[in-house]
Amino acid sequence: MRTKGADFIWFDGNIVKWEDANIPVTTHALHYGTSVFEGIRAYSSRNNLYVFRLREHLERLQQSAAVYSIALKYTAEELQGATIELLKKNQMRQSCYIRPLAFVGQHGIDLNVTMDSPTHVVIIMFPFAKYFKEEGIRACISSWRRIHDSSTPPMAKAGGNYLNSVLATQESNRNGYEESVMLDRDGNVSEASGENIFIVRNNKIYTPHIGVSALEGITRDTAMEIAKNLGYEIVERPISRTELYMADELFLTGTAAEITAIVNIDGRPVGDGKEGPVSGRIRTIYSKIVTAELADYNKWLTPVW
């Protein structure tokens, strides 16, 4: 965050003032990227605030920490309670973004992080609306390849992983695009810099399986369940770069991006250059789910007030 987002932050079991949540410059995570995190959204609706798929995000945080042997001192249930407590302490009633972060602290300069290394957990939140334009975005294929499981586990949502995405985003923005699509080391479509990707061809939906270095996204899972309930066939398989140029529709899924259509890829219009009907239907239903307008999906919502 460039500026103060809320008055209070949850830090190792205590709620502290934003300006008092400080760490030493010798923190291991600052030097080596030894952190894991989550991005969670809460939506304002019907005189309440609803956190979307809170438990699933916190369970994934635990899984990411386990991959890197970063000791997480709190259970998913404890962190869930802490999140709700912090939202109330900040008197948060508007739609917001929530960032739980676990990181290695004063470990020293060696790289042998173990479950005995000192770790910390923080929860940050700030008001948040739209990340991308609802009408769709322009994207390009990045020259940077997505990290591979043989070197850095892409299924763990680790801070250091995102240097890969930083390079891809910088490149796309320099070239006048709003997002980048990354290929895996074999040249298959992996994901965007911070989102999963779907293509629509002949009224069927395809998405890369997680074996092509894609994150097992929670919004990805949500979109797949919505699509299945709408009667669409979904296939997880390798997708070539060329298929992006042949797609009837392309859309991204992610906590920040929600459901966002790609309307132009590498300077080529996707379909008629507008959000397609399949993407639009999934986006509309997603918007209703997160604002508690569809009771069948309320299992994914945690009310705050």
The CATH number that applies at residue 61 is 3.30.470.10
Beta bridge partners of 252: 197, 260
Q: Which of 137, 265, 276, 297 is nearest to 205 (CA)?
A: 276
* Spatial separation of the C-alpha atoms in residues 178 and 294, rounded to whole Å: 31
**Boundary residue ending a domain (127, 161, 180):** 127
Residues 23, 107 within the same domain: yes
Active site residues: 157
What type of residue sits at position 184? D
- What per-residue confidence (pLDDT) applies to 1? 62
Residues 235, 103 within the same domain: no
Residues 223, 183 within the same domain: yes
Q: Which residue has the tokens 């003032």?
A: 17
pLDDT tens string 126-182: 999 888 877 899 999 999 999 999 999 999 999 999 999 999 999 999 999 999 999
- Are 86 and 46 in contact by the 8 Å Cβ rule? The answer is no
Residues 32, 146 within the same domain: no
- What per-residue confidence (pLDDT) applies to 130? 81
Residues 214, 277 within the same domain: yes
Q: Is 55 within the bounds of a domain?
A: yes
Residues 107, 155 within the same domain: no
* Rg of the chain, C-alpha, whole Å: 19
* Phi, psi torsion values for 159, nearest 5 degrees: -55, -45
Nearest-5° angle of CA 153, CA 182, CA 154? 10
Confidence of residue 46 (pLDDT cuts 50, 70, 90): confident
CA distances from 6 to 21, 67, 84, 88, 294 (A): 12, 31, 14, 11, 30
Confidence of residue 271 (pLDDT cuts 50, 70, 90): very high
Residues 142, 284 within the same domain: yes
- Tokens matching residue 24: 């030493």
Q: Which residue has the tokens 């899984």?
A: 63
Domain count, the chain: 2
pLDDT tens string 287-301: 999 999 999 999 999
Residues 285, 144 within the same domain: yes
The CATH number that applies at residue 274 is 3.20.10.10
pLDDT tens string 15-28: 999 999 999 999 99
More confident residue, 106 or 3: 106
**Boundary residue ending a domain (90, 106, 127):** 127
Nearest-5° angle of CA 44, CA 46, CA 50? 40
Residues 85, 146 within the same domain: no
Residues 113, 237 within the same domain: no
Q: Is 305 within the bounds of a domain?
A: no
- What per-residue confidence (pLDDT) applies to 134? 79
pLDDT tens string 119-138: 999 999 999 988 887 789 99
pLDDT tens string 188-231: 999 999 999 999 999 999 999 998 999 999 999 999 999 999 99
Give me the domain span that covers residue 283. Answer: 137-290
